[in-house]
Structure 1
Amino acid sequence: MQVENLRDILHWTEVYHRRLSDYLQECADKQSSERVKLLLEYLSEHEGHLSELFEAFEAQSELKTLNTWCYEYLDKNPIQLAGEEDIPLNEASTQEVMRTIAAQHDQVTGLYRYLLARANIPSNIELLERLLALEEHEVMRMMHGANRWEDS
């Protein structure tokens, strides 16, 4: 996907979370451990919710803000989806799943931090701050809920 402006970033993030949700569900369907399967399904639901939230942001944001150019980050720092990594989550432990998902989200928050550090228009700064906060908050909620799997 060619990413050139903030609209593309929002759309890319929406698609990213949807693909991650689909991948997590696919791995859950192949998982032999019931505990890991439930964790993967839980995380898949959260990723699907995040995809919907970013889709809503895209629909509600101002056209002028969304048309701001920002293409260099992903060219220099490509983000790879979990399915492209070495650990197949359909065979992973709960700890491996959690580490992989945390790493996935670190890549996305890194993207938003980078864009925020370079933003100089108040509407762009506001949008990027809201998106970064949303991503961080949802990841924190997801990890907190997933950590309950480890405690039980």
Structure 2
Amino acid sequence: MQIETLRDILHWTASFHQQLSECLSHCADNNTDQRARMMLQYLSEHENRLRKVVSGFEATGAVDALNTWCIEYLQKHPIVRHQQCNAPFKDLDATQVMNDVINQHQQVIELYRYLASRADIPSAQHLLDSLSALEEHEVMLMVQAGNRFSDM
């Protein structure tokens, strides 16, 4: 996928959440730890909902923000497709699964933060700040759910 604009970043992020959702779901069927299976299934559903929300930003985002170029950043820091399914989620316990998923989300948040700090137009900065806040909020929700699974 050629990423040149913030619209492309949204597509990439939605794809990231979709792939992660599919991988988590697939691995849930093969994990022997019941808590881990429940965590994987919950996270899969959560990632699928998050994909839909991120996709909605394209419909509601300002056209000038969506068309903002971000090639300079990406030339210096290319986005490497996450290979989630290469991670053995099926062999991890619930805590390890949560830590891996949080780490992947932190990378997306850092991308949004950096792009927001470099945005020249207010609408692009607002879009990126909103996306960053969304991802941070979703990480908090996932951690809370993970804590509830640990209490079981």
TM-score range, shorter chain: over 0.9
Count of aligned positions: 150
TM-score by length of 1: 0.92
1:93 matched residue in structure 2: 93
Counterparts of 1:118-133 in structure 2, within 5 Å, are 118-133=118-133
1:117 matched residue in structure 2: 117
Residue 60 of structure 1 and its aligned partner are, at CA, apart by: 1.3
Instruction: Work out whether residues 81 and 104 of structure 1, in 8 Å CA contact, stay in contact via their aligned partners in 2.
Output: no
SS at match of 2:40: helix
1:62 has 2:62 as partner: yes
2:106 matched residue in structure 1: 106
Name structure 1 gaps, 5 residues minimum: none
CA distance in 2, matches of 1:26, 1:71: 34
Name structure 2 gaps, 5 residues minimum: none
Q: Percent identity?
A: 47
Instruction: Work out whether residues 16 and 81 of structure 1, in 8 Å CA contact, stay in contact via their aligned partners in 2.
Output: no
CA distance in 2, matches of 1:36, 1:142: 14
CA distance in 2, matches of 1:28, 1:95: 14
TM-score by length of 2: 0.92
Instruction: Work out whether residues 43 and 146 of structure 1, in 8 Å CA contact, stay in contact via their aligned partners in 2.
Output: no
Counterparts of 1:21-40 in structure 2, within 5 Å, are 21-40=21-40
CA distance in 1, matches of 2:41, 2:73: 31
Residue 74 of structure 1 and its aligned partner are, at CA, apart by: 4.2
Residue 103 of structure 1 and its aligned partner are, at CA, apart by: 0.7
Query: Per-residue displacement from partner, 1:21-70 (whole Å, max 9, x unpaired)?
Result: 00100100111222111110000011001100001111111222111101
CA distance in 2, matches of 1:73, 1:140: 27
User: Hey, which bits of structure 1, 4+ residues long, moved more than 3 A?
Assistant: 72-75
Instruction: Work out whether residues 25 and 44 of structure 1, in 8 Å CA contact, stay in contact via their aligned partners in 2.
Output: yes
Counterparts of 1:4-15 in structure 2, within 5 Å, are 4-15=4-15
Q: Of residues 76, 82, 85 in structure 2, which corresponds to 1:83?
A: 85
Query: Per-residue displacement from partner, 1:76-108 (whole Å, max 9, x unpaired)?
Result: 243423223xx4001111111011011111110
Residue 120 of structure 1 and its aligned partner are, at CA, apart by: 2.0
CA distance in 1, matches of 2:108, 2:54: 12
CA distance in 2, matches of 1:109, 1:72: 18
CA distance in 1, matches of 2:68, 2:62: 11
